[in-house]
């Protein structure tokens, strides 16, 4: 791509005001408070750890922000050829007036203090949205998030459902669901009622999507009522002893029910397909997951056929799955491409249809 074409494309992109369809932002504290919130993000901690920094160096309890930055900066040099590092420098220059080529042991304190002055401004969260060309961001909300205390037209709730689909066999998760919905989870029918109440509560608070991340082997299928009951009974009787089979039946039942509720409540169902959780057990916070290239969207064919009225924004984590995703979006009217996993390092963009609904 020629330099001229690049500039033309980037200039056009700059004119677009975006809605970010997937963030982990805390709406009560949406912007960084210190440079440690930026440099302490897993984009940097996992690279620094991979290049030799001890996990305990940045995960020490009650570590002061300034000290955290000091320790991370000591491990930045091997990261200077990464795109993440270039983003750090861009952020430092664009927002904090940084003028040097690199952040080093010798100049980081000046940067830290400059950042502090900028980040302390009362309207900083509004400033950073405006300067980033963002008019709103979708959050990642636990199903029992109270959803109170912020402007939901800017920080838009999104019902994240990994716990419901993959961990409802754990008594603690069931108790949380019962507590927040007031439903006695005696049967799959009651489960469905509890899930429906979540949708009612979330949409009343202007939620715009239901979302989930899925392991590479998952293949959604409908579960008949009697099979769901047998599995749920076994899990309720002896949660510790129930087998993989019951857990999977429950996962399939809950997933399919969520898709039905997305249809009923006219919410898009965001699918982030292909993640293995906790692969590197010694990894830093949020730096333990990896993906698997051996995944195909054919696993979701029945789902896409069964719910033509539900929009499925789909992200695939492996770049090798991109062509399949493009083809599915081209063939299925209800499948749209989405994309936001950090291993790909490609900026997220919001699909037109989803933006129009917000």
Question: For binding to a second copy (CB under 8 A), which residues are involved?
Answer: 2-3, 46-47, 49-52, 276, 279-283, 287-298, 301, 304-305, 308, 318-321, 323-324, 326-333, 343-344
Q: Provide, rounded to whole angstroms, the least separation between the CB of residue 51 and a second copy.
A: 7
Provide CB contacts within 8 A for 270, sequence distance 6+. Answer: 21, 22, 158, 209, 210, 211, 212, 312, 313, 314, 315, 338
Q: Provide, rounded to whole angstroms, the least separation between the CB of residue 318 and a second copy.
A: 6
Question: Torsion angle, CA of 197/200/202/206, rounded to 10 degrees?
Answer: 180
Provide CB contacts within 8 A for 169, sequence distance 6+. Answer: 235, 239, 242, 246, 247, 250
* Nearer to a second copy (CB atom), residue 49 or residue 247: 49
* Nearer to a second copy (CB atom), residue 164 or residue 316: 316
Alpha-carbon separation of residue 176 from 140, 195, 262, 344 (angstroms): 17, 12, 21, 34
Q: Provide, rounded to whole angstroms, the least separation between the CB of residue 327 and a second copy.
A: 5
* Nearer to a second copy (CB atom), residue 225 or residue 298: 298
* Nearer to a second copy (CB atom), residue 233 or residue 302: 302
Q: Provide, rounded to whole angstroms, the least separation between the CB of residue 304 and a second copy.
A: 7
**CB neighbourhood size of 299 (10 A):** 16
312-316 and 335-337 beta bridge pairing? parallel
Q: Provide, rounded to whole angstroms, the least separation between the CB of residue 1 and a second copy.
A: 9
158-160 and 209-214 beta bridge pairing? parallel
Q: Provide, rounded to whole angstroms, the least separation between the CB of residue 247 and a second copy.
A: 20
Q: How far apart are CA 333 and CA 304, in angstroms?
A: 9
Closest of 293, 167, 211 to residue 20, by C-alpha: 211
Output 122-126 pairs: Cβ under 8 A, ≥24 positions apart: 124/31, 125/30, 125/31
* Nearer to a second copy (CB atom), residue 232 or residue 304: 304
* Nearer to a second copy (CB atom), residue 29 or residue 327: 327
């Amino acid at each position: 791509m020629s330099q001229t074409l690049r500039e033309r494309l980037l200039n056009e992109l700059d004119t677009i005001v975006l809605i970010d369809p997937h963030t982990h932002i805390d709406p009560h504290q949406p912007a960084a408070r210190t440079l440690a919130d930026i440099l302490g993000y897993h984009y940097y901690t996992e690279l620094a750890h991979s290049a030799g920094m001890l996990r305990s160096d940045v995960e020490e309890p009650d570590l002061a922000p300034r000290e955290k930055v000091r320790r991370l900066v000591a491990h930045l040099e091997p990261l200077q050829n990464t795109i993440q590092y270039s983003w750090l420098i861009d952020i430092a220059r664009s927002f904090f007036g940084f003028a040097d080529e690199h952040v080093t042991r010798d100049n980081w304190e000046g940067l830290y203090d400059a950042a502090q002055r900028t980040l302390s401004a009362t309207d900083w969260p509004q400033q950073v949205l405006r300067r980033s060309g963002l008019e709103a961001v979708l959050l990642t909300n636990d199903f029992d998030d109270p959803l109170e205390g912020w402007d939901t037209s800017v920080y838009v709730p999104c019902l994240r459902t990994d716990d419901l689909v993959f961990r409802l066999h754990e008594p603690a998760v069931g108790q949380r669901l019962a507590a927040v919905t007031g439903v006695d989870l005696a049967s799959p029918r009651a489960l469905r009622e509890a899930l429906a109440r979540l949708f009612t509560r979330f949409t009343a608070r202007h939620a715009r999507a239901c979302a989930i991340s899925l392991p590479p082997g998952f293949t959604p299928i409908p579960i008949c009522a009697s099979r769901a009951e047998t599995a749920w009974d076994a899990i309720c009787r002896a949660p510790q002893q129930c087998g993989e089979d019951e857990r999977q039946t429950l996962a399939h039942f809950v997933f399919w029910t969520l898709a039905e509720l997305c249809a009923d409540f006219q919410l898009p169902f965001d699918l982030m397909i292909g993640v293995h959780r906790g692969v590197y057990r010694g990894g830093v916070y949020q730096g333990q997951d990896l993906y698997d290239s051996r995944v195909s969207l054919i696993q979701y064919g029945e789902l896409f056929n069964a719910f033509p009225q539900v929009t499925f924004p789909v992200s695939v984590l492996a770049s090798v799955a991109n062509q399949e995703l493009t083809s599915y979006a081209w063939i299925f009217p209800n499948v749209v491409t989405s994309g936001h996993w950090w291993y790909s390092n490609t900026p997220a963009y919001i699909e037109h249809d989803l933006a129009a609904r917000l």
